[in-house]
Structure 1
Amino acid sequence: MTYEKKGWFALVALILSAMVRVLWPHPANATEANLIVFNAKITTQDAKNPSPTALAVKDGKFLAVGTDEETKKLRGKETRVLDAGGRRLIPGLNDSHGHYVRGGRFYNSEVRWDGVPSLQIALNMIREQADRTPEGNWVRVIGGWSPFQFEEKRMPTPTELNQAAPDTPVFILYLYSMGFLNEAGLKALGVTVENAQEKAPPGGRYEVVDGRLTGRLLAEPDPTILYKTIGSLPPLSAEDQLNSTRHFFRELNRFGMTSAVDAGGGGHKYPVDYTGTALLAGSPDLPLRISYYLFPQQKGNEYREFVEWMANHGLFHDGALHLDHGYELEGAGEFLVWSAGDFENFTADRPDLTRRERWREDLKRVAQLLVERGWPLRIHATYDESIGHILDVFEEVDREERAAGRKGFVGIRWAVDHAETLKQANLERIKKLGGGVAIQNRMAFAGEYFIERYGAGVADHAPPVRALLDAGIPVGAGSDATRVSTYNPWISLYWLVTGRSVGGTPLLSAENRLSREEALELYTIGSAWFSQEEGVKGRIAPGQYADFALLNKDYFAVAEEEIRGIESVLTVTGGVIVYGAEEFAGLAPELPQVSPAWSPVKLFGGYYRTSEHRSEK
C-alpha cells in the first residue's frame, strides 16, 4: 500500500472516530446503559435525590438516576428505553418474613381465596376445582383469607362444603387456628367419630357435635393437627414443584416484589423440600432475591440439626448463579426449638412456655451454639410473655459468652418475629441486646378474633409499630405468607397505613399507624436489614441493585381503599424485566404452561382478579 493510500485511510478512520464520539459520547463498555426508564415519578428513598424522573441500569445496578434529559445521554445502540407514562416508580418490595420457598412448592396445588370478595364465589371455586381434580388428589385452600373479607362475613358450613364437593376430598385452612374437611376428606384420612380422639395430636381436636363429626379441626392452641393434615396431602412431583415455583414467583413479581426473607416453616425440610427454588436459582431465570433461614423439623433434635447444617452448608452461601444475593443462606429460625414456640391462635388461650418441659434448656443450648458460631438468628414470638422468657435465655447466653471472653450477641444480626403484644419493657431489652423486630399483617386476617379475646384497647397497638420506630429498633414489614396472610404486599401496606383488617375492622390506633412513606420504607430498606443488605437495596440510587416496580396506580395519591388494588405493570430485578403488564406485557420471559394440567392456578390464577375468575359468573 502506498504512503498516500495509508494517509487517506488514516484520515477516514479519524473522521469516523470523531463522528462516533459526537453521536455516542460514552464508550459502550463504560457508561452505556442496558435499560433506561424515563417519564416516571420516582420514589428513590434517597434524601439526596428524592424525586427524579428517569433511571439508567447497567450490569444489574443503577447507573444513574436523574432527569429524562440527563439519563438519555447514557443511551447506546443496545439500550432498551421505556416510557413510564408518568406512573409512580418505587424500589422493589421486600417481605421481611414470609414462607416463599414453601409457597412455591405448593402454589400450583392450591385454590387461593386471597382477595375473593364473597363466600359464594369461594364455594363456586371449590365446586369447579372438584370437578376437574383427578382421583387421588385433593382440593385445598391453604390460608391467605379471612371470613371477614367475604360479603357474608362468615365461615363456610360443613353442608356447603359437602354440596360443593360431594365426592372429592377438600381441606381448607384458616390461619393456624382451624381447618375444615368435607365428608370425602374425613373418609380419605380415615377419621371417624370412634377414632377422632385417638387420631388428634395433643393440643388439637376433631370437632364432634351431637355424635357427628362436623369436619372442623381445631387448634387449641397447638396447630400440629393442621400441620399433620397438610402433610398427609399428596405432593406435587419434583418437575411440577419447579413449575409451581416459577409461576408463584411471577405472581409475586406481579405485585412489585423483588426480594423476600424466607423464614423456613413447619413440614418443610431443608434441603430436600427446597428443590424447586434451588433449581430455579441455578438457572438464569430467578426473578426474586431470596434470603433464607433454616427451621428445624425434628422436635427434640434441633441442636443436632443445626450442627449438621453448619457442617454441610456455608453461611451466606449464594446458590444463585446469575443474581447477586439471589438465594442465600442467612441464618437460623424462625423456630429455633419447638418447645419454645408460641402460637398465634387468637381463638384459643395464650400458650405458656414455662409449662413445657425443657423449653429453657433446649433454647439455651441452641442459642449458645448459634451465637458461638456467629450465626444470625430469628425467633417466632407472638406474645409479650413469651418474648420475656426468650429474652431471659438470650441475656443469659450473652452474659456467659462475654464472661468467657467472647463477643456474645455483639455483631449477631438477630430478631423477634411477630411481637403483636410486645410491651415497652421487653422492647427496651430487645434494643439493648441489638435485636430487630419483623412485623406482619397477621392482625389484618385475625384481628376480629383478637379483639374478641383481648379487647380493642390491646389491638390498637398490636404490634407496637410506632414505639419500635421511636426506639430506633430495626423494623421490617412483611406478611407471614402464605398460610396466615396473603402474599400480596399491598394488603400489608394497606394495614400499616389505615390500621384496618381485610374486613374493614379498625385495629391500629391513629398514633400507631404509619404514613405511606414510612410504610414503604419498612417494606424495602427496613426489610433489607434482616438479610444484611441495607447497603445494596431498598433505594433507587447509583450503585444499588436495580430492583424496582412501576405501579398501575400512584401509591401516594390514590384513596386509602385503592391501595389494596395496586399492582405492578413493570417489575425489574437485577436490571432484568421479570414481569410486565399493559404496554409492557410482552417484555418478561414467557413461562411454561402451568402443571399439572388440573392445577387450580390454570383456572383461577392466584390473587383474585374479577376478569380471571369464572366462578363469579
Structure 2
Amino acid sequence: MGAYGQADYVLVGGRLYTVDPAQPIAEAMAVQGERILMVGTSEQVLAAYPNAQRIDLDGYVVVPGFIDAHAHLMGLGLNRMQADLTGTRSVQEVLERLKAFATSLPEGAWLLGRGWDQNDWPVKAFPTRYMLDAAFPDRPVWLVRIDGHAAWANTAALQQAAPELLATFVADPPGGRIVRDAQGIPTGVFIDAAMELVARHIPRPTEAVLEEALQRAVTEVHRYGLTGVHDAGADWDTIQRYWRAIDRDALRLRLYVMVDGLGEAFEHICTQGPILGYKGYLTVRSVKFYIDGALGSRGAALLAEYSDDPENQGLLRYAPEVFAEMVQQAMRCGLQVNTHAIGDRGVRVVLDAYEQALQTLGRTAGRHRVEHAQVIAPPDFARFAALGVIASMQPTHAISDMYWAEDRLGPERVRGAYAWRTLLRHGARLAFGSDFPVESPNPLLGFYAAVTRQDAQGWPPGGWYPEERLTREEALRAFTLGAAYAAFQEDELGSLTPGKYADFVVLSQDIMTIPPEEILQTQVLATFVGGQCVFHHEAAAGLCPKLP
C-alpha cells in the first residue's frame, strides 16, 4: 500500500512476517501515532519517509503482537503473589515450598497457593488434608490445582470456612464433587463446583493487592510479547478495575473480556450494552460459561467412562436443557457465547445448545466459541464449521497432558484430543492462547507446541500424534489474526497491515525458519502496543524510538 501521512518512525532492515496474505513478508514498516502507515521493502519505506526517525532492526524478525485468546489476567497476577507450586514433583516438595512462603505471612493469614498436579508425583492419587495438617495444624491452607478445577485444603481451612463438612454429611453440589474416604469423610480435595464450599469463605484480597496483581500481570505478559489478552471470565469489579487502569494510562494491553456467567457483569452488559474498544484497550461483548471440568482431575464430561476410572464419566456443570436456556438468554442479549468444554460430552452439549439457539433465534452475534475443545468425538468435528463456531484452544495443554491423556481416554478416543489439524481439515477456525496461569503466558511455548507436539526436551521423537501438528504459518496465524477474528477485531489487530494498530513484537530469531528445537531459545527483544514500546530487553533499548 502506498505511503500517506507523516511517520513518527520507521523500522528497516528486518524480516517482517505480516500475517497479511496481500504481503506476507516485508523488510520495513512505518508507524504514525498508534497506527501502521506502510509496510514494504526498506528502500520503499525510506523513500516514502526520508525524515522519519529510523530504527535499524539489524536483521531481527518482527511479527504481529501475540494475542492470547484464553487467559486469566488477574489470576496470573494473584498467582505471582501466592505460593507457586508449579512443577512440584512430590507432596514433600509442595510442603517445602509452602513452609518457605509461609515465613512472610502474618499469623493467622490464609496460606494460598496454586499449581500442584498429582499426575507429576510418584503416587498419582489425589493428596489429602492430613498431608498438610502435620506442617500446618493451625494456619488455614488452600491450594488450587494447576488447572483451576480442583483445590486441596487442610483441616484448619475446613474448620474455619466450612465446619459443617466435618460435622455432618454434605452432599456434592451440582457440577462438583467432594472427594471422600471409604467412610465418606472429606479428604480435603474439592472438584469444580464443590470448591466454592470453601473458597467463598476465604478473605477477599484488598483493592491495593488487586491493583498490584494487575500491574504484575501486565508487566509479565508484555515481557513475553503479548499485546492482547482475551480475559476468560471477569466480574464487574474486575472490569471496573481495568477501566480505571486505562484511565490513568496504566494498562497498555488490548483486553477482550468475557463476563463470568449470568452475574452482575452480565446484567450490566445485557441491559446497558457492550463496551466496544474503550480508548482502544477494553472490549466487553461476550460471556464465559462452563459446561464441565478438567481432564487432569477427571471432571471433564465424557460420552463414555474414563479409561482409568471406570464408572466415572466426569461432571456436567448444568443439565443440558438448563445450559441451553442460558445460551439463548445470552444470545438474546446480543452477546458472543464462549463456553469451557473439555470432554467430548461437554463439547457435544455445547454444540447442541448453540445449534438449538441458532435455529430458535436466527441471527445472533455470531462467532460463538468452544473454549479448550480438548476432546472431540469424530462426528462433531464438522459441526464447528457448519455452525460457525470457533475452536479456542491452548497448544501447551497438549504437551502438558500427553504423558497421561491416553490413560484417561484410551488409544482410540485420544485421537480426537488436541486435534488442531483435524479441526482445520474440517474447515474450523482456530484461536490460540495459553490459559495462563494454568500454563506459562509465553506464546512461543504455544507456538513450539503447535508445530512439534513435543515437550521442551524434544519428547516424544517425531511428536505426540504428529499428524495433528500445524505449520508455522498456521500456528502464527492462530496466535494473531485468528485470535483477533475470535474477538471481532480482525480489522484492527492481528496482522501488520497499514491502517491497523501498530501492535508488534521484535524477536531475536527467525521462528519461521530456525530448527524447531531452537524456537524455545528465542527471546522477545521488544514489545510495541499502539506504536509505543512497552517492553524491551536490557540489550535492545535501541529498538525503542524516542517519542515526544
Instruction: Provide TM-score, normalisation by structure 2.
Output: 0.82
Q: Which residue of structure 2 aligns with residue 224 of structure 1?
A: 193
Q: Which runs of 5+ in 1 are unaligned?
A: 1-26, 299-303, 336-340, 402-406, 590-617
Q: Which residue of structure 1 aligns with residue 220 of structure 2?
A: 251
Which one of the candidate residues 63, 71, 75 is aligned to 1:98?
Answer: 71
Alignment of 1:91-490 (within 5 A): 91-104=64-77, 106-114=78-86, 125-143=97-115, 146=117, 168-174=139-145, 175-182=147-154, 185=157, 188-189=160-161, 194-195=166-167, 197-198=169-170, 201=173, 203-208=176-181, 216-219=188-191, 223-264=192-233, 268-269=234-235, 271-296=236-261, 306=266, 309-312=269-272, 314-319=273-278, 321=279, 324=280, 326-335=281-290, 341-348=291-298, 350-351=300-301, 359-401=319-361, 407-409=362-364, 412-441=366-395, 442-482=397-437, 484-490=438-444
- 1:60 aligns to 2:34 (yes or no): yes
Contact 1:110/1:141 (CA < 8 Å) preserved in 2? yes
Once the two structures are superposed, residues 58-81 of structure 1 have per-residue CA deviations (whole angstroms, 9 ceiling, x without a partner) of 12111122333443456687x554
- 1:522 aligns to 2:478 (yes or no): yes
How many residue pairs are counted as aligned between the two chains? 529
Alignment of 1:581-592 (within 5 A): 581-584=537-540
Task: Report the CA distance between 1:428 and its aligned residue.
Answer: 2.1
Q: Which residue of structure 1 aligns with residue 308 of structure 2?
A: none
Q: Which residue of structure 2 aligns with residue 35 of structure 1?
A: 9
Distance 1:119 1:450 in 2: 22
Distance 2:9 2:232 in 1: 33
Equivalent position amino acid for 2:409 in 1: Y
Contact 2:378/2:416 (CA < 8 Å) preserved in 1? no
Q: Which residue of structure 1 aligns with residue 309 of structure 2?
A: none
Distance 2:400 2:509 in 1: 24
Task: Report the CA distance between 1:414 and its aligned residue.
Answer: 1.2
Task: Tell me the percent identity.
Answer: 25
Distance 1:81 1:163 in 2: 63
The SS at the match of 2:440 is coil
Equivalent position amino acid for 1:390 in 2: V
The SS at the match of 1:46 is coil
Q: Which residue of structure 2 aligns with residue 542 of structure 1?
A: 498
The SS at the match of 1:348 is coil
Task: Report the CA distance between 1:466 and its aligned residue.
Answer: 0.9
Question: Given the superposition, is the C-alpha separation of residues 213 and 115 from structure 1 closer, same or farther in structure 2, using an over 3 Å criterion?
Answer: closer
Equivalent position amino acid for 2:249 in 1: P
Question: Given the superposition, is the C-alpha separation of residues 373 and 187 from structure 1 closer, same or farther in structure 2, using an over 3 Å criterion?
Answer: closer
Return 35-44 or 204-213, whichever deviates more: 204-213
Question: Given the superposition, is the C-alpha separation of residues 372 and 49 from structure 1 closer, same or farther in structure 2, using an over 3 Å criterion?
Answer: same
Distance 2:544 2:171 in 1: 48
Question: Given the superposition, is the C-alpha separation of residues 285 and 117 from structure 1 closer, same or farther in structure 2, using an over 3 Å criterion?
Answer: farther
Task: Report the CA distance between 1:432 and its aligned residue.
Answer: 1.9
Q: Which residue of structure 2 aligns with residue 606 of structure 1?
A: none
Question: Given the superposition, is the C-alpha separation of residues 247 and 308 from structure 1 closer, same or farther in structure 2, using an over 3 Å criterion?
Answer: closer
Higher strand share: 2
Contact 2:8/2:33 (CA < 8 Å) preserved in 1? yes
Distance 2:105 2:481 in 1: 42
The SS at the match of 2:276 is coil
Distance 1:357 1:209 in 2: 25
Question: Given the superposition, is the C-alpha separation of residues 44 and 350 from structure 1 closer, same or farther in structure 2, using an over 3 Å criterion?
Answer: closer
Once the two structures are superposed, residues 258-315 of structure 1 have per-residue CA deviations (whole angstroms, 9 ceiling, x without a partner) of 0112221xxx53x1233332211222232210111222256xxxxx974553113x22
Distance 1:457 1:141 in 2: 36
Distance 1:342 1:463 in 2: 17
Return 469-478 or 385-394, whichever deviates more: 385-394
Contact 2:29/2:38 (CA < 8 Å) preserved in 1? yes
Distance 1:352 1:456 in 2: 15
Question: Given the superposition, is the C-alpha separation of residues 119 and 362 from structure 1 closer, same or farther in structure 2, using an over 3 Å criterion?
Answer: closer
Once the two structures are superposed, residues 13-69 of structure 1 have per-residue CA deviations (whole angstroms, 9 ceiling, x without a partner) of xxxxxxxxxxxxxx9xx6332233333222112234333232221121111223334
Question: Given the superposition, is the C-alpha separation of residues 43 and 157 from structure 1 closer, same or farther in structure 2, using an over 3 Å criterion?
Answer: farther
Contact 1:334/1:417 (CA < 8 Å) preserved in 2? no
Equivalent position amino acid for 2:243 in 1: A
Contact 1:551/1:568 (CA < 8 Å) preserved in 2? yes
The SS at the match of 1:109 is coil
Once the two structures are superposed, residues 178-214 of structure 1 have per-residue CA deviations (whole angstroms, 9 ceiling, x without a partner) of 4333565456546598438539756322555899976
Question: Given the superposition, is the C-alpha separation of residues 539 and 206 from structure 1 closer, same or farther in structure 2, using an over 3 Å criterion?
Answer: same
Distance 1:115 1:55 in 2: 41
Q: Which residue of structure 2 aligns with residue 614 of structure 1?
A: none
Question: Given the superposition, is the C-alpha separation of residues 523 and 150 from structure 1 closer, same or farther in structure 2, using an over 3 Å criterion?
Answer: farther
Contact 2:445/2:520 (CA < 8 Å) preserved in 1? yes
Equivalent position amino acid for 1:84 in 2: L
Task: Report the CA distance between 1:546 and its aligned residue.
Answer: 0.7
Distance 1:521 1:372 in 2: 31
Return 580-589 or 456-465, whichever deviates more: 580-589
Q: Which residue of structure 2 aligns with residue 611 of structure 1?
A: none
Contact 2:341/2:371 (CA < 8 Å) preserved in 1? yes
Question: Given the superposition, is the C-alpha separation of residues 34 and 119 from structure 1 closer, same or farther in structure 2, using an over 3 Å criterion?
Answer: farther
Once the two structures are superposed, residues 561-601 of structure 1 have per-residue CA deviations (whole angstroms, 9 ceiling, x without a partner) of 44345442200011111111122459989xxxxxxxxxxxx
Equivalent position amino acid for 1:35 in 2: Y
Contact 2:399/2:455 (CA < 8 Å) preserved in 1? yes
Contact 2:287/2:337 (CA < 8 Å) preserved in 1? yes
Equivalent position amino acid for 2:64 in 1: P
Question: Given the superposition, is the C-alpha separation of residues 297 and 501 from structure 1 closer, same or farther in structure 2, using an over 3 Å criterion?
Answer: farther
Question: Given the superposition, is the C-alpha separation of residues 211 and 305 from structure 1 closer, same or farther in structure 2, using an over 3 Å criterion?
Answer: closer
Task: Report the CA distance between 1:526 and its aligned residue.
Answer: 0.9
The SS at the match of 2:36 is strand
Contact 2:261/2:289 (CA < 8 Å) preserved in 1? no
Question: Given the superposition, is the C-alpha separation of residues 73 and 209 from structure 1 closer, same or farther in structure 2, using an over 3 Å criterion?
Answer: farther
The SS at the match of 2:25 is coil
The SS at the match of 2:340 is strand
Q: Which runs of 5+ in 2 are unaligned?
A: 304-312
Distance 2:89 2:230 in 1: 29
Equivalent position amino acid for 1:38 in 2: V
Contact 1:91/1:540 (CA < 8 Å) preserved in 2? yes
Distance 1:385 1:576 in 2: 45
Distance 1:539 1:297 in 2: 34
Q: Which residue of structure 2 aligns with residue 338 of structure 1?
A: none
Q: Which residue of structure 1 aligns with residue 307 of structure 2?
A: none
Computed over aligned residues only, the root mean square deviation of the Cα atoms, in angstroms, reads: 3.9
Once the two structures are superposed, residues 407-453 of structure 1 have per-residue CA deviations (whole angstroms, 9 ceiling, x without a partner) of 435x6221222222223422222322222211124333334342212
Contact 1:430/1:436 (CA < 8 Å) preserved in 2? yes
Equivalent position amino acid for 1:563 in 2: I
Equivalent position amino acid for 2:444 in 1: W
Question: Given the superposition, is the C-alpha separation of residues 588 and 228 from structure 1 closer, same or farther in structure 2, using an over 3 Å criterion?
Answer: farther
Task: Report the CA distance between 1:523 and its aligned residue.
Answer: 0.7
Question: Given the superposition, is the C-alpha separation of residues 448 and 503 from structure 1 closer, same or farther in structure 2, using an over 3 Å criterion?
Answer: farther
